[in-house]
Amino acid sequence: MAHIPQQRDRRSAPFVLVVVGTDVHRFDRLVGWLERWHAARPGVRLVLQYGHSRPPALPEATPFLGHEELQRAMAEATLVVSHGGPATITEARRTGHLPIVVPRDPTHDEHVDNHQQLFSRRLGAAGMVRLCESEAELLAALDEGLAEPARFALTADPGRPDPRAEAVARVGAVIDDLVARRVRQRAGGRRG
């Protein structure tokens, strides 16, 4: 198991890692928000894994990162911004981050349905992520995180047998609850 850093080096330039995942849908809305934010903060290192989105006008943008490279970047990052994908959120938390999560929105053709929004809202309500569904919320979270990085850091517990198992169990419970609610809603709609 990889070492989970207890504290990141505060002497180096702030480093924001943004991960949009590998979904075939574009996430150009988030790319644009980040380009505008970064233009006013050139001293911040911003690495954007943009997937199938349009290539951003940012110096450290890449379509995809290998698993080891992603793990290394998460361990070194000051802040991690993620789409609403459970695996990415779990990995960010495992490496000691309270992830800033911007779920994909199907009304912008960013995904096939609203499962990322439902999932992310549930985690946001539980305090497991910092949910941002607008540009203003994202910019505020980024600026807050750079001003007070400790607010977006989770305490690592190297004595825990397998932190991934607990995270997977918690994520699974959230998904099970969401599915059960949807089934009840559909069943209730057929009775009338």
Q: Is the residue at 22 inside a domain? A: yes
Domain ranges, residue 105? 15-153+161-189
What global pTM score does this model have? 0.78
pLDDT in tens, 169-191: 677 777 777 877 877 887 776 55
Q: Is the residue at 2 inside a domain? A: no
For the four alpha carbons of 137, 97, 108 and 181, in that order, the dihedral sign comes to: negative
Give the residue among 144, 140, 153, 151 at the shortest CA–CA distance from 102.
Answer: 140
Q: Is the residue at 1 inside a domain? A: no
Q: Is the residue at 7 inside a domain? A: no
Lowest mean pLDDT among 3-7, 85-89, 106-110: 3-7
CATH number of the CATH domain containing 140: 3.40.50.2000
Q: Is the residue at 87 inside a domain? A: yes
Q: Is the residue at 135 inside a domain? A: yes
Q: Tally the domains of the chain.
A: 1
Q: Is the residue at 80 inside a domain? A: yes
Residue 4 pLDDT grade (very low, low, confident, very high; cuts 50, 70, 90): very low
pLDDT in tens, 45-78: 999 999 999 999 999 999 999 999 999 999 999 9
Q: Which long-range contacts does 139-147 make (Cβ < 8 Å, 24+ apart)?
A: 139/33, 139/37, 141/100, 142/16, 142/37, 142/79, 142/81, 142/100, 145/16, 145/78, 145/79, 145/100, 146/14, 146/16, 146/41, 146/44, 146/78, 146/79
